[in-house]
Amino acid sequence: MTKPEYAVKVEQVHKSFGANEVLKGISFSARQGDVLAIIGASGSGKSTLLRCINHLVVPDEGRIYIGNEVLLSRKRRDGVAVSSDPRQLERVRAKLGMVFQNFNLWTHRTVLQNVIEGPVHVQHIAKHEAIDHALTLLAKVGLSDKQHAYPAELSGGQQQRVAIARALAMNPEVLLFDEPTSALDPEMVGEVLRVIRTLADEGRSMILVTHEMKFAREVSDQTIFLHEGIVEESGVPEALFDNPVSDRLRQFLQPMC
């Protein structure tokens, strides 16, 4: 089967929480090797959208394409949306790596144990191979000397770099980042953005929800502005940031000027 030109395609995704319709028919696609940045005010639905991509939140309607697979959902009789095919979901999730705002590391495991956990216990890779790979990844994120440390002994920036190494250890086809620097002290933002930029330069497919506008402008191939659950504007970052068409986007970008 030939690989489609998109890494992720989202088609007419809707999601409500009770009476609150958070996503109102979202569509976009991210090409293989591209970085797609998602920006928007707090509460506009960015995290919900990112979570819909791996069905951590199951959409009420719409389709999510990951490479050659399409994730569908259905409503149970009680109205709760569930994935149509749980076995397929497992397969698709293996293609997606996710990095969260709050790192979500296992606090009682060392850095190395955090990074090898998925490969050894989920992918059943031999432990020595997983360790070799993990050490390469820790070197890549600049943390070779921290393999035996526990998360609490690390700074926020270091913990987030471990979380990125952990996501990479599963060899994902696409990396999803949900505001990876917004829980960090300002002096640590740069070290995490540098790692993300390296991954972008290597041609990894990524979807990045971020408040770092300057970074989004520099690193993304395509930017989407989400406003109240719709794609209010999208395009190449130069156009979006320098010549916003929508008044709402203009207002959103104003503090930057």
Q: Select the binding partner of residue 168 from ligand ADP, Mg ion, none (C-beta < 5 to 8 A, by kind).
A: none
Residue 199 or 226: which CB sits closer to ligand ADP? 226
Residue 59 or 151: which CB sits closer to ligand ADP? 59
At its nearest, how many Å lie between Mg ion and the CB of residue 125? 32
The stretch near ligand ADP (CB under 6 A) out of 14-22, 65-73, 132-140, 192-200 is 14-22
Strands 174-178 and 96-99: parallel
Signed CA dihedral, 160, 165, 170, 175: sign only: positive
82 lies in the site for ligand ADP, by CB under 6 A: no
Dihedral of the CA atoms 161, 159, 168, 198 (nearest 10)?
-10
Tokens of 250: 């203009």
Residue 65 or 225: which CB sits closer to ligand ADP? 225
80 lies in the site for ligand ADP, by CB under 6 A: no
40: buried, middle or exposed (CB in 10 Å: 19+, 13-18, 0-12)?
Answer: buried
Q: Select the binding partner of residue 97 from Mg ion, ligand ADP, none (C-beta < 5 to 8 A, by kind).
A: none
At its nearest, how many Å lie between Mg ion and the CB of residue 101? 7
Residue 51 or 63: which CB sits closer to ligand ADP? 51
Q: What whole-number distance in Å separates Cα of residue 213 and Cα of residue 175?
A: 19
Signed CA dihedral, 206, 110, 103, 237: sign only: negative
Q: What whole-number distance in Å separates Cα of residue 35 and Cα of residue 235?
A: 12
The stretch near ligand ADP (CB under 6 A) out of 29-37, 45-53, 59-67, 90-98 is 45-53
Q: Select the binding partner of residue 254 from ligand ADP, Mg ion, none (C-beta < 5 to 8 A, by kind).
A: none
At its nearest, how many Å lie between ligand ADP and the CB of residue 150? 29
At its nearest, how many Å lie between ligand ADP and the CB of residue 69? 24
Residue 59 or 67: which CB sits closer to ligand ADP? 59
Q: Select the binding partner of residue 48 from ligand ADP, Mg ion, none (C-beta < 5 to 8 A, by kind).
A: ligand ADP
Phi, psi of 187 (to 5 degrees): -70, -10
Q: Which residues bind Mg ion (CB under 5 A)?
A: 46-47
52 lies in the site for ligand ADP, by CB under 6 A: no
Binding residue for ligand ADP, selected from 3, 17, 90, 246, defined by CB under 6 A:
17
Site string for ligand ADP, 25-44 (x = CB under 6 A): ---------------x-xxx
Footprint of ligand ADP (CB under 6 A): 17, 20, 22, 40, 42-48
